[in-house]
Amino acid sequence: MDTNTSLQALMKGPLPPLYFCIGNPVVGNPTQHMMEKAFEQLGYPGRYLTIEVDPDELEPSIWGLLAMHFQGGNVTAPFKQDVLSYLDELTESASLCDAVNCITRKDDGTYIGDNTDGKGFLQSLVEIAPDLERRKVVVFGSGGAASAIVTELALHGVREVVVVNRTLTRAKTLVDNLAGISRTTLSWEPWEGIYQIKEHDLVVVQATSVGLFQPDDCIKVAFTPDLHNVIACDVVFNPVETTFLKKAKLAGCQTLDGLGMLVNQGAIAVKQWTGKEPDRALMRLSLEEAFAVC
Ligand code: NDP
């Protein structure tokens, strides 16, 4: 938004719509930069603030944001589940995976919570796997990101999803919670030693936190050489090319990095808030710009 538009809004109203990102810690979270670039390109007068909330003060913080008519915002760790109880409504995705990362104020003044992590991931994947419905997908992890992804894969109706997690009970709970929501066959497998990725036509998703800010770290997997038609995805976005993706590439897999998911979940939020489709390439560039500062 140019200075004149901003000044007009300040002096003549309506005041700029406000958005938030709450979490703890939030230093190092690049969402504000990405959102501001998207708003600016759309000529939308929204303002976006990153706010570190003390876990003991979540309740008054949320009531404050809602009372001040913030138009929406993003929620990051560790509050994605805690915010549920303050919202008037949940989308199907948020309700199924029991976590909210995106809040929108509706025209009637009520607040709806959505989970756009899985949707953002799915958008990235469908672009390179138009035949996703007939595929088997193996997801490593059972935390917030994995749960959002498995939920969206099931809602999309992929043929089969297998959840593999270090703590088996979490994988079982994730699968049990989604049982019967679609025709997708859901199951879990224990993760004992090195998990060998050896099937052709698979989609494998690294949805654990391993590798985040640790370029040399990788989950305990091995790829059989010369895999045919396998897509390997990582939710970790920094570094963009993780060791997991490097290993997958060496085995002949097509790869999908976590930055696309981050951009897409942000773009879905902007569309919900403004009604307009933001420039995703610009949003990706803004993230790369932010990470270059680290
Ligand atoms: P959670 O803390 O909810 O879950 C972490 C998961 O990682 C658990 O399944 C945990 O297993 C597993 N894990 C942790 N350490 C290990 C290890 N050494 N070996 C095997 N498994 C391990 O985190 P989130 O799900 O919220 O986040 C996961 C990642 O996803 C983060 O890097 C986050 O930044 C990223 N993310 C990316 C997004 C994007 O848009 N690209 C959006 C959201 C998240 P266990 O259950 O056994 O503890």
Question: 1 pLDDT exceeds 70?
Answer: no
Strand partners, 52: 23
- For residue 166, give the ligand 1 atom closest to its CA: 47
Is 80 considered catalytic here? yes
pTM over 0.85: yes
pLDDT confidence of residue 6? 74
Whose tokens are 């760790």? That residue is 77
Out of 163, 195, 208, 218, give the residue to mutate to test ligand 1, the one with the largest number of ligand atoms within 8 Å of its CB: 208
List the catalytic residue out of 80, 106, 271, 276: 80
What pLDDT digit, counting tens, does each position of 142-183 carry? 999 999 999 999 999 999 999 999 999 999 999 999 999 999
Among residues of the chain, what percentage have pLDDT more than 70?
99
Question: 294 pLDDT exceeds 80?
Answer: no
Question: 55 pLDDT exceeds 90?
Answer: yes
pLDDT confidence of residue 5? 74
Out of 166, 167, 195, 259, give the residue to mutate to test ligand 1, the one with the largest number of ligand atoms within 8 Å of its CB: 166
Q: Indicate the SS3 state at residue 139.
A: strand
Minimum CA distance residue for ligand 1 atom 22: 208
pLDDT confidence of residue 4? 73
pLDDT confidence of residue 10? 84
Residue 253 CA to ligand 1 center (angstroms) comes to 22
Whose tokens are 């976006």? That residue is 48
Handedness of CA 198, 171, 120, 50 (dihedral sign): negative
Minimum CA distance residue for ligand 1 atom 1: 143
Question: 66 pLDDT exceeds 70?
Answer: yes
Q: Taking residues 55-68, report their average pLDDT.
A: 97
Amino acid at 155: L
**Measured distance CA(180)–CA(177) in Å, rounded:** 9
pLDDT confidence of residue 205? 98
- Which of these, 126, 130, 174, lies nearest to 148 by C-alpha position? 174
What pLDDT digit, counting tens, does each position of 249-288 carry? 999 999 999 999 999 999 999 999 999 999 999 999 999 9
Confidence of residue 3 (pLDDT cuts 50, 70, 90): low
pLDDT confidence of residue 7? 81
Pocket (CB within 6 angstroms of ligand 1): 77, 117, 120, 141-146, 165-167, 170, 208-210, 212, 219, 235-237, 258, 261-262, 265
